[in-house]
Amino acid sequence: MSHKSDQGQGRSTSTSASTSASTSAAALDTGAFKRRSGAAAASNRLFDIFVWAAGICIILFILGLLFMLLRKGLPMLTWDFLTGLPSEIEEGGGIGPALFNSFYILFLSLAISIPLGMAAGIYLAEFAPDNRFIGFIRICVEGLSSVPSIIFGLFGISLFVDMFHLDLTILGGAVSLAFLNLPMLTRVTEESLRAVPPELKNASLALGSTHLQTIVRTLIPVASSGIVTGICLTAGRAFGESAVIILTAGVTTSGSLWDFNLLSPGETLAVHLWYVQSEAIVPDAGDIAQKATAVLIAVVLLINLTFRVPLWIRARNMKR
Amino acid sequence: MLEMNAQGRVIAPAELGNSLRQAGGNPLERRVRLKFLNSTFKIVCVSAAVFVCLVLFGILFLMFKTGMMTFETVSFKEFFFSANWDPENGHYGALLFIFGTFALTGLTLILSVPISVLIAIFLAEVTPSWLRGALRPVMDLLVGIPSVVYGYLGLTILIPMLREITGRDLADGLLAAAIVLTIMVLPTIARISDDAISAVPKKFRDASYALGSTRFQTIFRVVLPAAKRGIVYAVILGMARAIGETMAVVMVIGNTPQLADSLFMPTAVLTSNIVMQITSVESDSTWNYALYLMGFLLLAISLLLIVAVRMLQKKGEKAL
């Protein structure tokens, strides 16, 4: 009896401790047990409080830091700042070309990496026989996804600047960024395709469609939500990527807002933030950096939220 | 399926074949076309997968080839065991960067692992489900914040704070960088550990509670040991991110090539040194080659980490 009640205490962490246990016949043995379980209950309670306090504090601390950045920067944003040209010496420079380049390079890199990454992912999920060759490719994909981003930058330099004798260009930046995205897209595609129930594939094949038709008309539509989510998360990461762009696309823009030329220098917003904060000599560098940070966080959060909210809603519906 | 088609065509009366031909739907043509499309598609997919491997090996090869040219003028011993980095005068001792990278990573892990595991426990075991449902997406969003933003945060908020606390003029250095990296990798490690802890079967917990242990005892003696592999995996991923991180580190570490003997001394790591110097060196100088060699070192370290992860996974499969 006394054992049972002690157990109950330990589990529920309630401190109505010694009441029920003391009523039972208390041998010496049970007393020692009680003292020990009392200590355990106390440490348990302490642990609870500690974890709660630490967890809440740390999460609030990080969120608070981000919130501070947004609160300082967002109210100062004006349309002129978003579309204005950056200036090297005078106050009042904008981020127009950098913002444009961010989206332009992102678009180009995705245009290169999505077809390649998806094709590789389809191969791994659909065509690949289970042998050493596939294990090898899989290790390559994993290895590539662990390569630090600055290495892609170095690779981009030696490819585009040293071998093709181009200068720092939008093209170089986009291709290097595409290499960075490639392994992530491959993995997302493979995982989404593997998650498609095999009945669907069998049904499609049984209706007489070829493998290609099955993939294009059945598997990809079913897996599309996973693939699209993966693409958007990759896009969010690529949008904020800066080390690759500094090395391959440079820290300057061509100076006009709508510059689609692939061979002009292509500083992006993330790079501009770094440049303004640590290299530039404009007097209002601090202000520009603050506003640029706010824009950067806002865009990345927006990209993330837009494609995660449907996922959360679906997950919630699935649970019910 | 294609064979069936072929049989059908043989059996079908000639008139049907004629009418199909007249309608422009030559069955032979269609079959050939489908077959052609199928095999082309497969080839495209295979080549995409091979391309991913080629990118990895291209990077490895270029880094290795360019890096090895360093040793034409610099001795192996000098590069790895001298801390005198003065390329203008022909001194290429990279020890201080290698040491910086390892010291920074170690310091980051010391700071981030306990906190992340605490948060993971908080998320997986302690919080009520409504709070968990709100906090997990927040952590996911934090993973997506660009690294340059964390660098900016460190530069504008953390360093002034550190300066005030320590009373020094300069707070740039290993500690500032480690704190920034900790804030950056914390969501990653916490979320993956959280998943690992949540994946521990409920029966383990039930058994532990049935034996009379408190929640504290259950978590530390049963759940954490059971989730150990997942947590180690998370730590390795966080480590890989910390080693390869560039922009966040560049902004707070001080970028001075000297061996750090205190936590507040401006120093440099492999990544930060590459990004600060690569744009200003001649492409066929020893200086440039040395930077590539440092890139190759980074690459080798991160690939080794991936091998470690794979071995961990293999071991886990065997254990199951």
CA distance B45 to chain A (A): 5
% of chain B surpassing 90 pLDDT: 16
pTM (2 d.p.): 0.81
Helices A28-73 & A2-12, crossing angle to 10 degrees?
Answer: 10
Give phi and psi for B114, each to the nearest 5.
-60, -45
Task: Report whether pLDDT(B128) > 70.
Answer: yes
pLDDT tier, B4 (very low <50, low <70, confident <90, very high otherwise): very low
| A274 vs B contacts (CB less than 8 Å) | 148, 151-152, 247, 250-251
Task: Name the A residues in 131-170 with CB < 8 Å from any B CB.
Answer: 136-137, 139-144, 146-155, 157-159, 161-162
Please compute the mean of the pLDDT values over residues A44-59 and round it to a whole number.
85
Mean pLDDT over each residue of chain B, to the nearest integer:
83
Please compute the mean of the pLDDT values over residues A9-21 and round it to a whole number.
41
B245 and A148 in contact by Cβ < 8 A? yes
pLDDT tens digits along B73-99: 888 888 888 778 888 887 888 888 888
- In this predicted structure, what is the pLDDT of residue A242? 86
- In this predicted structure, what is the pLDDT of residue A203? 92
With the CA atoms of A87, A91, A97 and A103 taken in that order, what torsion angle do they form, in degrees rounded to the nearest 10? Answer: 140
Residue A301 exposed, middle or buried by CB count within 10 Å (0-12, 13-18, 19+): middle
B145 and A66 in contact by Cβ < 8 A? yes
ipTM for the whole complex: 0.81
Cα separation values, A176 from A146, A157, A266, A274, Å: 15, 9, 13, 19
A123 and B212 in contact by Cβ < 8 A? no
pLDDT tens digits along A85-131: 777 666 667 778 888 888 888 999 999 999 999 999 999 888 877 77
- In this predicted structure, what is the pLDDT of residue A110? 92
- In this predicted structure, what is the pLDDT of residue A109? 92
Three-state SS for B172? coil
Task: Report whether pLDDT(B214) > 60.
Answer: yes
- In this predicted structure, what is the pLDDT of residue A32? 60
Task: Report whether pLDDT(B291) > 50.
Answer: yes
Determine the Cα–Cα distance for residues A169 and A250; give it in Å rounded to an integer: 7
- In this predicted structure, what is the pLDDT of residue B27? 64
- In this predicted structure, what is the pLDDT of residue B114? 92
In a mutagenesis test of the B interface, which of A113, A123, A189 is the best target, namely the one with the most B β-carbons within 10 Å? Answer: A123
Two structure tokens written together for A170: 């939008």
Please compute the mean of the pLDDT values over residues B157-184 and round it to a whole number.
85
% of chain A surpassing 70 pLDDT: 85
Determine the Cα–Cα distance for residues B81 and B64; give it in Å rounded to an integer: 20
Residue type, A61: F
CA distance B78 to chain A (A): 23
pLDDT tier, B320 (very low <50, low <70, confident <90, very high otherwise): low
Q: Beta-carbon neighbour count of residue A2 at 10 Å?
A: 18
Q: Which of A62, A123, A161 sits opposite B48 (nearest CB)?
A: A123
Determine the Cα–Cα distance for residues A45 and A112; give it in Å rounded to an integer: 55
Instruction: Output the CA torsion sign for A278, A284, A286, A288.
Output: negative
In a mutagenesis test of the A interface, which of B216, B282, B298 is the best target, namely the one with the most A β-carbons within 10 Å? Answer: B216
Q: Which of B63, B122, B144 sits opposite A304 (nearest CB)?
A: B144
Determine the Cα–Cα distance for residues A97 and A252; give it in Å rounded to an integer: 10
